[in-house]
Amino acid sequence: MSNHQTLIIDRLWIGDRMSRKMIRWMKMSKIKLVCNMTPDLEFYGSHLITHKRFPMNDGMKGDANWKSMKKSSDEIHRVLQNPNGGSVLVHCHQGLSRSASAIGCYLIRYLGWSGDRAIEWIQTRRRGSLTYIGFRKMLWKWENESQTQEKSKGLV
């Protein structure tokens, strides 16, 4: 194992630009979905692995990054809710901001975690991640949105 990829929770990995090229590791880890959170890195890998791009731009706020986080978390959930679905690798250039925020969004939306818990959990596993306040703010926004949806459904 290298510093290129880190297990965040069971079957959910975060990685950098090199992790997408580690085909043997992906096969051993049973990666079935690679979420590429960059607008520019090309895809690598076997035809047995699904590759999807959810482009996010560092330092950008707004709707495009928000939609990419949502779409990627939906895809992560789709694979992870199936016990035979395999594992997921979410990567960006360094595996610190865009990929970490997409995973944080999944933890908040589908596992019901608070924004702070998701941020802290990811940071303890992937040192140097989520240091940019803009990405943390988006996770806190997801937390608020999730709580609002639960209240409107009468779940809180």
Domain 5-150 has CATH 3.40.50.410: no
Strands (E), 10-77: 12-15, 31-36, 50-53
Domains of the chain, residue spans: 5-150
pTM (predicted TM-score): 0.91
Residue-wise pLDDT tens digits, 34-87: 999 999 998 887 777 999 999 998 766 678 888 999 999 999 999 999 978 899
At position 117, the amino acid (one-letter code) is R
List, for residues 76-103, the tens digit of each pLDDT value. 999 999 978 899 999 999 999 999 999 9
- Please classify residue 74 by burial: count the beta carbons closer than 10 Å to its beta carbon, then call 0-12 exposed, 13-18 middle and 19+ buried: middle
Answer whether 49's CB lies under 8 Å from 32's CB.
Answer: yes
Residue 1's pLDDT is: 42
